[in-house]
Structure 1
Amino acid sequence: MDSSLEGSRTEALNRRVILIAGPTASGKSALALDLAKKLNGVILNADSMQLYQDLRLVSARPSAEEEAEVPHRLYGILPASQAFSTGAWLRLVSTEIASAEEKGHVPILVGGTGLYFKALTEGFAEMPEIPEEIRRQARDLADRQGVEGLRQELTRLGDKTAAATLSDPQRLARALEVLMATGKSLAHWQKAHQAPPLLRPEVCCRIVLAPPRPWLHARIAQRAELMLAKAGQAEVRSLLEKDLSNKLPAMRAIGVAEIGAFLAGEADYSETLHRLTVATRQYAKRQETWFRNQMSDWQRVDPSVGINLENWQGIFFG
């Protein structure tokens, strides 16, 4: 465990921080902006795709104009060529929270990456760095042989538990690369290296936006049209010209493959718009499932009926 991260967690136990999670297109960024204006806040990114410089439109990152209204941190800080871990995000956000408080600002963390919030408030097992060659081997096996191939290799190398209990190919590949790199299972690292949370839940205002499905789907349809507009096409074209591995997180962002196929003449506008809409809906559904199962004690707020910020002050300071 990084000593600076451990120290920052200890110092953070009595902090008051606003955390806003929710599915894509649920209005998280707009709410965070309104709150930041009212509470002298700093907005800190908790969305793994909005970390990337190349994905402002595709990831629905706040606009340059919005970023100029109040301080925004951890947006567009990474090149698309770089992978990024939850542990690395925790190290950055711990510094930003401390910096915000030193300047008298309220830290407002906002995003759709549930694992970031879970690690922040429940603790996180810092994993060892995995050599790129081993990471590539695990991902290649996943591409060639899928779930069953990964399970067979995990069993052969001695991690029968992961092989028997995991079903998601990304999680299986992660278990395999950790085992290959360290000789120890992912479960071993999670148990032996679990660190306390950076923020205790009881000192945070924890909100999950939970809009009605029709309201959210209408906003997702609007989002898809914006992604497929000329500026979105230009963004994806520029990214694809970098000729990066399609296994990188930025290249797996919703919109990259779909708009890429449109630019290549493999799909027309209507088909591409449909694909974007469906993919985003499916992603939002996965997010909602995560929030419901993993963050069940967070307060649910329906953004479709409007939010009274005067009441929010009472929630935060009460």
Structure 2
Amino acid sequence: MNKVIVVCGPTASGKTQFAHLLAKKNNGEIVNADSMQLYKSLPIITSSPSLELKNELLYHLYNFLDINSEYSVAKYAQIAAEKIKEISTRKKLPILVGGSGMYINSLIKGFSYIPDIEPEVRAQVRSLQQSLDSNEFFELLKKTDPVIVNVLNAQDSQRVARAYEVFLQTGKSILYYQKSNTKLLEGFSFRAILLLPDRQFLYSMCNNRLEQMFKKGVVEEVKSLLNEKCNINALAMKSLGVKEIISYLENRISKDEAMEIAKTRTRQYAKRQVTWFKNQLQEKDIIEFSNYEEYEKILTMVSPPGFEPGTT
């Protein structure tokens, strides 16, 4: 079977560096599995791979999407699957790297085809969601699609909005479409590596990343987006830190407050990612570490004990 290596884990866990070294050692190429690193206008705030790394080997599906565009899981799965097949045809090892669990699952397990949502419908739903609190919006969904509310909660704003817009667009529950499953990589085997730092060390890594972003010019990056008249409701604008930096640029909070709030949100997001990968990614090799010294040791090993790249 053709083989795919998956390097996954929470934000700031060291996936990029680990995967890069793994690719260099095993004749591999990198395929992005991070929903926000698709966008070309957000290289700093999404911690996209550097030009130096991209000059050393081939990276695919990074920083190419217009900031106002949106990518469904189905669309991502289709283009990523084609890229993986192309890499395999050239006798290279595809290495899928990222923290977007749904993207990764769409390639390993397959995905449910859901019709594209018209921009007008999406704008209507987002406007309505902003005008109501989370519980009120959830009650609205319950009236239109009473079945889906049994698998969602009011605080999961993105999935609630998605369910509501699908019903408005199609007249059917999103569960109707999720019953079907399309698998695009038949004949491929996957080997997943989960990088799992100790919780407190992960939080310190998140904090350090945010501090480095501010030093590298992330405020100017977000300011440029606003100057380009980006759609403030675009999916890309939900990248961690964007909302806080906009608040700073609009003089509603200080720069230090923006950084601290962004740090908190990033840590919360990392915690949710850890939970998802532990529970939803069934077969995986877990690499745990609790400080930079242990992480550096892992990098020198490249292929951790008990892991042979390319095996099933």
Is 1:208 aligned with 2:194? yes
Q: 1:178 aligns with which of 166, 185, 205?
A: 166
Q: Alignment partner of 1:108: what SS?
A: strand
Q: How far apart, in 1, do the equivalents of 2:128 and 2:233 lie?
A: 12
Q: Alignment partner of 2:132: what SS?
A: helix
Is 1:54 aligned with 2:46? no
Q: Does the 8 A contact of 1:20 with 1:108 survive in 2?
A: yes
Q: How far apart, in 2, do the equivalents of 1:178 and 1:212 lie?
A: 38
Deviations 1:168-224 (A, max 9, x none): 222122111111111111111111x322363678x2111111111222122212111
Q: Alignment partner of 1:99: what SS?
A: helix
Taking every aligned residue pair, what percent have the same amino acid on both sides? 35
Q: How far apart, in 1, do the equivalents of 2:32 and 2:129 lie?
A: 30
Deviations 1:3-57 (A, max 9, x none): xxxxxxxxxxx32110011011100000011011101110000000000001100
Q: How far apart, in 1, do the equivalents of 2:226 and 2:98 lie?
A: 25
Q: How far apart, in 2, do the equivalents of 1:312 and 1:97 lie?
A: 26
> 2:277 maps to which residue?
291
> 2:15 maps to which residue?
28
TM-score between the two structures when normalised by the length of structure 1:
0.89
Q: How far apart, in 2, do the equivalents of 1:144 and 1:275 lie?
A: 23
The number of equivalent residue pairs is 302
Q: 2:103 aligns with which of 116, 127, 135?
A: 116
Q: 1:315 aligns with which of 285, 308, 311?
A: 308
Q: How far apart, in 1, do the equivalents of 2:139 and 2:207 lie?
A: 41
Q: Alignment partner of 1:133: what SS?
A: helix
TM-score between the two structures when normalised by the length of structure 2:
0.90
Q: 2:120 aligns with which of 133, 137, 152?
A: 133
Residue 165 of structure 1, CA deviation: 3.3
Q: How far apart, in 1, do the equivalents of 2:308 and 2:32 lie?
A: 22
> 1:276 maps to which residue?
262
Residue 314 of structure 1, CA deviation: 4.7
Q: Alignment partner of 2:193: what SS?
A: strand
Deviations 1:83-113 (A, max 9, x none): 1111111111111111111222110000010
Q: How far apart, in 2, do the equivalents of 1:269 and 1:199 lie?
A: 49
Q: Does the 8 A contact of 1:46 with 1:116 survive in 2?
A: yes
Q: How far apart, in 1, do the equivalents of 2:118 and 2:245 lie?
A: 31
Q: Does the 8 A contact of 1:227 with 1:255 survive in 2?
A: no
Q: How far apart, in 2, do the equivalents of 1:101 and 1:313 lie?
A: 24
- Runs of 5+ in structure 2 lacking a partner? none
Residue 230 of structure 1, CA deviation: 5.2
The amino acid across from 1:75 in the alignment is Y
Deviations 1:288-309 (A, max 9, x none): 1111221143221125423222
Is 1:74 aligned with 2:74? no
Q: How far apart, in 1, do the equivalents of 2:142 and 2:260 lie?
A: 40
Whichever structure has more helix as a proportion of its residues is 1
Q: 2:230 aligns with which of 244, 249, 273?
A: 244
> 1:149 maps to which residue?
136
Q: How far apart, in 1, do the equivalents of 2:151 and 2:34 lie?
A: 27
Q: 1:84 aligns with which of 71, 82, 103?
A: 71
Deviates most, 65-74 or 268-277 = 268-277
Q: Does the 8 A contact of 1:15 with 1:199 survive in 2?
A: no
Q: How far apart, in 2, do the equivalents of 1:55 and 1:240 lie?
A: 12
Q: How far apart, in 2, do the equivalents of 1:222 and 1:87 lie?
A: 34
